[in-house]
Structure formats: structure tokens, C-alpha cells
Amino acid sequence: MAEWSREAARALDAADALGPLRELFFIRPGLLYFNGNSLGLLSRPAEEAVREVLDVWRSLGVDGWFTGPNAWLGMMEKASAQIAPLIGAEPREVTVANSTTINLHQLLSTLFRPTATRRKILVDETVFCSDLYAIRSHLALRGLDPVGDLVLVPTVDGVLLSEEMLIDRMEDDVACVVLPSVVYHTGQLLDMPRLTAAARQREILIGFDCSHSIGCVRHELSRWGADFAFWGNYKYLNGGPGAVGGLYLNRRHFGRAPGLAGWFGGSKDRLLEMPAQFDPAGDAEALQISTPFVLSLAPVLGSLSIIAQAGIEALRARSLRLNGLLIDLFDTRLARRGVSLITPREDERRGGHVSLAHPRAEELCSRLHEVQVIADFRHPDRLRLCPSPLYTSFEDCFEVMERLESILDRL
Ligand SMILES: *Cc1c(COP(=O)(O)O)cnc(C)c1O
């Protein structure tokens, strides 16, 4: 087991091709920010993009929608084209609009077509609460039973999910499966290609909540054949608080009428004609609803320019190495101090953050806060540490574990 020193961590930073990207972000000196999976930090290009929108608004008013290379009307399309490679889809299969939960609502209202015998929705027992509320509401809206028609697949051991168990429960009564790509409280990365293949083989719709993977894990949603996905752009994509969300709709569903229709789901060249008859776009754009949230789209575009520069392969590799260092340091410094590691150790089974468990995790998290570490506590005993592949250094990882170790010693 490698015994890491601060010098060794610094040497990793010095040799790291992506290290200089950190300079593009605003990081308060002395702060160790390990919560980029809740809210990514502001970058200079994101700030610049917002400023540009404000300048155009100030000088052009309504003409900003149509004027110049960055006309607001074209922003959703630009963002979709840049996100498509991150999700592994054609640009037409991706749309940046609405918000995470609203996109789940939109996708279910468009795709979920229960029949008398095949009507259940399958999720895992630890599903993110907002997804669960949304899914239950769709069962209720269709006159189904929000409890009995929901299949909750348990964890294996109170912590991790098993693809085997999820697939075993994909029976004839299941119409739709909604799963996370990376489980938010454990950092477990599910085998999306395998789950997708199993669902497709059984003619079950399958979609993924990619909130905790987009921007730090590679996806090939289109090639795997997943039906849909949705995510927020304010976590690893650093789009800012409440940034506009994203969705992916497999091309086999193009041409379907959106469940929740709005004028921005119609074909854009007829937008201002305002036809009485809704004519939905022939691709994922049909699931847009309203006037674009320009002020929250701008920082997403700014941040995406950095991500494109880095490349998702390199970001994933760096994220694994940062988390790998946290895990090594856990082994040598924390394991014997009553902390356990929740996140799977295998690269192919972990996402972008490390989850630790300790009975006094909440207190640990606030003690960390006192020494300038922003970590994240999840009820009842989880401490999540998320190094961003864009702006966290290896030395930060070393430092955070050092501070945690010294807090544990004094607990
Ligand atoms: C962050 C997160 C959300 C957030 O939903 P909003 O509608 O953006 O508030 C949803 N699902 C998961 C798994 C998340 O991690």
C-alpha cells in the first residue's frame, strides 16, 4: 500500500497536463473545495459568458435574441451540441432545457405508456428523493398505484446495488426502469451498458439520471441504446446554481409528441408565426417547453468550453486518479480510525466522488468546514468527498485527508 507524502502529491500536480485548468476557476485561497458534485465552482469563461449576456441585454434589449454570433435563440442548440459528446449521443438526441426534475417529468410524460399488465416503474431503493416523487406522481396521474406499481429494488448490503438483482427484477410487469448512472450517496457507478441491454431485451424502457456522472464519466448512451437520460448542469459541469438541465432522447423515439407541450418544442423556423396547431420538432428539441433560461445557459456554455478543451477521456482518467489517491490515503490514515469506505474500489465501479461512513459524519463535516474544507454530509452517516477533475489538485486531496485525520484524532 502506497504511503503518500505531500511532496509526492505535489509531484503528481507538477506532472499533470490538466493541472493548469485550475487557474481558470475562482477558488478562495486556502479553501479545499470537495463539493463539486453538488455545486461546481465558477470559472472565468462562465463569468465572461454571463457578462456578455448582460452587455447585450443592456445595449440591444430584445434584439439580443437574434443578433450576432451568440444570439440567445441559438444558445440551447449550441449547448446541446457540446454536451452530446459527453453523453455519447448525436446532437439531435440531446437538449439543454428545463431542469433535472422537470426533464424527468417531461420524459416520463412522453415515453411512459403503461398497459394493464405492463405498467410498473422500477427504481432502486436508494433513489434520489426528487426522482421518486416525480415517478410516483406519474403513476398517480395515470390512475395507477404510486406504491404498488413502484418496484423498489433493495441494495445488497444496505449500501451497494447489484446489477444482477436489478436485472432479475426486470419482469413482465415492468414498463420502465429509471436508475442513476452513479449513485449519489455511495459513488457507485452502475454498469449502464449491461442494464440497458437487459432492459432492451425485455422490451422495457430504460433511462438514467446522469446528474452524478455527466462531466466526469464517459457515456455511450446512444450506442448502448438507452431510451432516455436527464441531468443537472450545475454539478460537474459547473453551470452555476440552478443552471438549466439537460436530457437525452434516443432517436428511436423521435417524432413522438411531447407529453408536456410548449412553443419551444415546436419547429423554430415557425416560432414567431405562432401557429395554433403545435408542430413538434422531429428530435429531442421537441421536449423543450419555454423560452430559454438565457442567464443560466450562459455559464453552462462558458464552462463547457473548458471541458471541451480538456476532453472527457482525460477528465475521467484524472478523476479516477484523484479519487484513487483519496482511497490510498483512507487506507493508510483513516481505516484504523473508525471510518469505512463505502465507494467500490474498482475503477469501473466508481464515479467521481468517494463516500466514507462514520457514526459522527455530520460532526466531521462541520469540523472540516471550520478548517476550510467544504465536504458534504448525507444522512445518516455519510461523508462525501468530491475532487473535481477540473480544479482539484492532488495536493488538495492529500491535505483534506490530513485535516480529516487530525480531526478524528481529537474527536
Ligand atoms: C442533484 C440531483 C438532482 C437535482 O434535481 P433538480 O431538479 O435539479 O433540483 C436530481 N437527481 C439526482 C440524482 C441528483 O443528484
Our answer on whether the CB atom of 232 is closer than 6 Å to any ligand 1 atom is yes
Domain with CATH 3.90.1150.10 in the chain: 6-30+311-410
pLDDT in tens, 259-305: 999 999 998 888 888 888 999 999 999 999 999 999 999 999 999 99
Q: Is the peptide bond before 380 cis (omega within 30 degrees of 0)?
A: yes
Residue 119 known to be catalytic: no
Exactly one of 22, 119, 136, 235 is catalytic; which is it? Answer: 235
- C-alpha count within 13 angstroms, C-beta hemisphere, residue 348: 4
Question: What is the spatial distance between Cα 322 and Cα 326, in angstroms, rounded to a whole number?
Answer: 7
pLDDT in tens, 235-256: 999 999 999 999 999 999 999 9
Going by CA atoms, what residue is nearest to atom 2 of ligand 1? 211
Q: Which of 221, 218, 163 is nearest to 344 (CA)?
A: 163
Ligand 1 pocket test: which of 101, 247, 353, 376 has the largest number of ligand atoms within 8 Å of its C-beta? 101
Residue 120 known to be catalytic: no
Our answer on whether the CB atom of 128 is closer than 6 Å to any ligand 1 atom is yes
The separation between CA 245 and the C-alpha centre of its own chain, rounded to angstroms, equals 10
User: Residue 351: its pLDDT value, please?
Assistant: 98
CA–centroid distance, 247 to ligand 1, in Å, is 13
CA–centroid distance, 232 to ligand 1, in Å, is 6
Residue 34 known to be catalytic: no
Backbone angles phi, psi at 273, to 5 degrees: -70, -25
Percentage with pLDDT > 70 across the chain: 100
Exactly one of 112, 128, 248, 391 is catalytic; which is it? Answer: 128
pTM: 0.97
Could you name the CATH architecture of 51-308?
Answer: 3-Layer(aba) Sandwich (3.40)
Residue 33 known to be catalytic: no
Could you tell me the pLDDT band of residue 1, with boundaries at 50, 70 and 90?
low
- Other beta carbons within 10 angstroms of residue 322's beta carbon come to 26
**pLDDT beyond 70 at 401:** yes
pLDDT in tens, 94-104: 999 999 999 99
CA–centroid distance, 149 to ligand 1, in Å, is 23
Our answer on whether the CB atom of 332 is closer than 6 Å to any ligand 1 atom is no
End-to-end CA distance of the chain: 26
Our answer on whether the CB atom of 212 is closer than 6 Å to any ligand 1 atom is yes
Q: Which of 323, 244, 94, 209 is nearest to 315 (CA)?
A: 323
The closest-lying atom of ligand 1 relative to the alpha carbon of residue 38 is 1
Residue 234 known to be catalytic: yes
Going by CA atoms, what residue is nearest to atom 6 of ligand 1? 100
Class of the 6-30+311-410 domain? alpha beta
**pLDDT beyond 90 at 172:** yes
Our answer on whether the CB atom of 209 is closer than 6 Å to any ligand 1 atom is yes
Ligand 1 pocket test: which of 130, 133, 382, 384 has the largest number of ligand atoms within 8 Å of its C-beta? 130
Residue 213 backbone zone (phi > 0: left; psi -120 to 50: alpha; other: beta):
alpha
Domain with CATH 3.40.640.10 in the chain: 51-308
Question: What is the spatial distance between Cα 401 and Cα 271, in angstroms, rounded to a whole number?
Answer: 54
